[in-house]
């Protein structure tokens, strides 16, 4: 993603046209991130708008040496985590259970490439329980480790590992069912 320096300067000055142009350029990238953390379009758009406002408010701190796309993705992911925390203060969605890691040999993930495209896999991930979905996205897609996830989501590392294992098992089951229905 190549962003014109003058466009960023216009955004910093508060020029609405420049902000709108930046929004249009970033929309697809940010929406893809938001859809990994929200189940429906309205919630994803709400998250995107909240993240974009943070991006605009922090443009002065953007360092040119950092890829702009990576910078806006990180802000969007952090916004998703903040929203999750805010929404979880009054309820608990997870239960600490003994960790049972799924065997990676149960279903070869390369087999998934043969049967599913990216949109189908995203749809399956969105069917996961909310906390397991967030842990899966943070670990598998965004590259966080269990310690970071535990700190971000306010859980133990063991709970983070359990949610990842549970997500993998559920995804394998859903993929198997879909493959069996086709065969």
> Averaged over 149-174, what is the pLDDT?
91
Residue 95 falls inside a structural domain: no
- Domain final position from 28, 57, 88: 88
In a shared domain, residues 9 and 83: yes
Residue 34 falls inside a structural domain: yes
Quote the percentage of the chain above a pLDDT of 90.
49
Domain count, the chain: 2
> Averaged over 30-45, what is the pLDDT?
89
Confidence grade of residue 2 (pLDDT, cut at 50, 70, 90): confident
Q: What is the pLDDT of residues 107-154, one digit of tens each?
A: 444 444 455 667 777 788 889 998 999 999 899 888 889 999 999 889
Question: Would you state the pLDDT for residue 117?
Answer: 65
Helix residue ranges, H only, the chain: 5-12, 16-37, 41-57, 68-88, 109-115, 118-126, 130-136, 146-153, 157-182
- Domain final position from 88, 119, 136: 88
Quote the percentage of the chain above a pLDDT of 70.
83
Question: Would you state the pLDDT for residue 51?
Answer: 96
Q: What is the pLDDT of residues 70-97, one digit of tens each?
A: 999 999 999 998 888 887 765 544 444 4
Residue 104 falls inside a structural domain: no
> Averaged over 58-63, what is the pLDDT?
92
In a shared domain, residues 84 and 113: no
Domain that holds residue 19: 5-88
In a shared domain, residues 81 and 140: no
> Averaged over 44-49, what is the pLDDT?
94
What does the CA dihedral 136, 91, 40, 150 come to, rounded to 10 degrees? -20
Residue 141 falls inside a structural domain: yes
pTM exceeds 0.85: no
In a shared domain, residues 79 and 135: no
In a shared domain, residues 125 and 174: yes
In a shared domain, residues 64 and 117: no
Residue 122 has which token pair? 């995203």
- Domain final position from 42, 57, 88: 88
Residue 25 falls inside a structural domain: yes
CB 145 within 8 A of CB 114: no
Backbone angles phi, psi at 25, to 5 degrees: -70, -30
């Amino acid at each position: 993603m190549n962003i014109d320096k003058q466009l960023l300067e216009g955004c910093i000055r508060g020029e609405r046209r420049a902000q709108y142009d930046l929004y249009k350029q970033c929309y697809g990238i940010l929406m893809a991130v938001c859809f990994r953390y929200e189940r429906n379009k309205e919630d994803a758009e709400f998250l995107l708008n909240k993240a974009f406002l943070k991006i605009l408010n922090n443009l002065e701190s953007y360092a040119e040496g950092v890829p702009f796309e990576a910078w806006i993705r990180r802000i969007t992911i952090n916004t998703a985590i903040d929203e999750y925390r805010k929404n979880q203060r009054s309820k608990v969605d997870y239960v600490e259970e003994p960790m049972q890691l799924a065997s990676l040999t149960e279903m070869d993930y390369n087999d998934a490439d043969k049967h599913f495209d990216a949109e189908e896999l995203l749809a399956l991930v969105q069917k996961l329980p909310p906390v397991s979905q967030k842990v899966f996205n943070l670990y598998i897609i965004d590259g966080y480790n269990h310690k970071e996830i535990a700190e971000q989501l306010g859980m133990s590392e063991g709970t983070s590992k359990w949610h990842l294992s549970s997500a993998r098992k559920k995804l394998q089951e859903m993929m198997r069912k879909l493959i069996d229905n086709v065969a």
